[in-house]
Amino acid sequence: PLHNTLGEVLAQSGRPQLRTAETEKYPHVTYFFNGGVEEPFAGEDRHLIPSPKVATYDLMPEMSAPELTDALLAHLGQGRYDFVLVNYANADMVGHTGSIRAAIAAVNTVDACVGRVLERIGELGGTALVTADHGNAEKMLDEDGNPFTAHTTFPVRLILVGPEARPRSEAPQNGTAAPVSPHPATTTLHDGILADVAPTILELMGIPQPPEMTGRSLLRTPARDSLGGS
């Protein structure tokens, strides 16, 4: 097992955390996210939502995302957790079926569900990072027009939503992806890699980064830029 993963650092800092997903992605937010540790860390709660029992997920592209969202909103309303990790399985699992129609429905479902979650986080004054570790549903046909069912290697977005994020109207106009936020703000994000996500979260939460984390925070502020920081 890995040492000083994000979940372990949060536990050592006394920050209560929630991990939630439906069956297909539950191991990803628990065992895998904890670096191969099966048992929850201190203060780590877990909530499993059963995935629908269908032969293939193109038959039910919404999967259990609405139920997952309802449960997540209930947890957020309790105000118990400093960190919440949720994984929506739809774009990946439905993308593997090769059905464009189903993939569109899956993405629309996730879009609506994530919108509900972000609205609630905004009401609570919280901050969210929205990202993925690979693509899938954005490419459903290969160069010959045949169904494409594999993961893609396209860069994924990391979207910062919250009081820290610079609104779209103030984002750099150089064609790069912009953080999206309804709040006035001063922080944007650098490009980075997957290893940079955990350090970014720790900086947002005011927790020191352990030496085992080799990535860097992607937060970019005017103060840091004025000092020549990267």
Tens-digit pLDDT profile for residues 126-148: 999 999 999 999 999 999 999 99
How far apart, in Å, are the Cα atoms of 209 and each of 10, 84, 145, 212? 11, 19, 46, 8
pLDDT number for residue 2? 95
Q: How many CB atoms lie within 10 A of CB 96?
A: 17
pLDDT number for residue 222? 66
Write down the residue that tokens 């954005």 correspond to. Answer: 138
pLDDT number for residue 188? 87
Round the average pLDDT of the chain to a whole number and report it. Answer: 90
Reply yes or no on whether the pLDDT at 122 is more than 60. Answer: yes
Assign 36 a pLDDT band (cuts: 50, 70, 90): very high
Reply yes or no on whether the pLDDT at 223 is more than 90. Answer: no
177 or 72, higher pLDDT? 72
For 84-88, 110-114, 139-143, 164-168, which range has the lowest pLDDT when averaged over its residues? 164-168
Reply yes or no on whether the pLDDT at 8 is more than 50. Answer: yes
Between CA 230 and CA 220 the distance in angstroms is 8
Between CA 141 and CA 163 the distance in angstroms is 38
Reported as a single tens digit per residue, the pLDDT across 80-98 is 999 999 999 999 999 999 9
Q: How many CB atoms lie within 10 A of CB 157?
A: 14
Reply yes or no on whether the pLDDT at 229 is more than 60. Answer: no
pLDDT number for residue 221? 74
Give ranges for CATH 3.40.720.10 in the chain. 1-154
Reply yes or no on whether the pLDDT at 179 is more than 50. Answer: no
Write down the residue that tokens 């980064």 correspond to. Answer: 209
In eight-state DSSP terms, residue 16 is -
In eight-state DSSP terms, residue 134 is S
Nearest in space to 85 (alpha carbons), one of 134, 50, 34: 34
pLDDT number for residue 186? 59
Domain 1-154: top CATH class: alpha beta
Reply yes or no on whether the pLDDT at 182 is more than 70. Answer: no
In eight-state DSSP terms, residue 220 is E
